Amino acid sequence: MRDQAETLRLKMMKWQGELGRAIAVVSGKGGVGKSNFTMNFATTLAQKGKRVAIVDMDIGMGNINILIGKNASYSLKDYLEGNNTLDEVIFDGPYGLKYISGGSGMTGVLDWSQNMFDRLIYAFEELQKNYDYILFDMGAGATNWSLDLLASIDEIIVISTAEPTSITDAYSMMKYIHVRDPDKQIYILCNRAFSKEEGIETNERLKLTMKKFLDKDVLILGSLPEDPVVRKAVREQVPFSLAYPDALISKTLQLIVVRFMDHRAEEIHAHDQTSKKFLTKLRSIFSKGRD
């Protein structure tokens, strides 16, 4: 175990190139629109010429490939279990977008081993070298291993709807993440807002609560409206941003993507530090001595 971690660390240290932005899309409650957001956010970035990969972390219950409308013969699970190489589980989506499927039809919980976790971190490394943006569509809620993975991802987008239960669950999730890493860049986004005001109010509420109870500043990414084209696009198995570019939700998403791209642009000089921070985090994960 130690040897593997050591090898990975040395490899990381040798890497001098630019690393892509790794972003996890999370929520407290399920069904708030994470997968649809991830998919369309990724498609919009790819349309702008960015190299983008999606990793469906909802292992055994993944639906990114269904939303893309394509079949993936192998999933992340096959890679983690050592049955396939990383290249073999990466599939093509629209506009050069790549994705790793979460796989479906799995019953029971995946039994995480140290080896699987190492393989996941290795994949994460490789993707960061080869893509500009890597989006992790996380399953709902917080498990130990998902929080471990989140520890090595610098940017988190938290999705909530305006429902009180969704807001409190989103807050709990952010709290978990914040306790483990107070420096994490957290963005919040209200999905399925019935009005502009509802979106603003939801985001403000979450932002204020984070500030008041955890003294944490989170960034408001924006809000996306409740829009019937989402459902239509899901049924047609195409991203709404491609099939319905003139819909309110697609136009709003365009603005959100541009804002998100610009945000990092302002901080681009911090890149060296980001890589170093990432190494420190990896080290702390490995030194926990998990089996």
Ligand X SMILES: Nc1ncnc2c1ncn2[C@@H]1O[C@H](COP(=O)(O)OP(=O)(O)O)[C@@H](O)[C@H]1O
Which of Mg ion, ligand X, none is residue 224 near (CB under 5 to 8 Å by kind)? ligand X
State both tokens at 222: 């924006």
Residue 35 is a binding residue for Mg ion (CB under 5 A): yes
The one among 6, 18, 31, 164 contacting ligand X by CB under 6 A? 31
The one among 53, 54, 127, 249 contacting ligand X by CB under 6 A? 249
Stretch that binds ligand X, among 26-34, 43-51, 74-82, 143-151 (CB under 6 A): 26-34
Residue 224 is a binding residue for ligand X (CB under 6 A): yes
Residue 98 is a binding residue for ligand X (CB under 6 A): no
Those residues whose C-beta lies under 8 Å from the C-beta of residue 156, and which sit 6 or more positions away, are 23, 24, 25, 26, 150, 177, 184, 185, 186, 187
Which of ligand X, Mg ion, none is residue 192 near (CB under 5 to 8 Å by kind)? ligand X
Residue 40 is a binding residue for ligand X (CB under 6 A): no
Stretch that binds Mg ion, among 26-34, 93-101, 169-177, 230-238 (CB under 5 A): 26-34
Residues that bind Mg ion (CB under 5 A): 34-35
For ligand X, the binding residues (CB under 6 A) are 27, 30-36, 191-192, 224, 226-227, 230-231, 234, 249
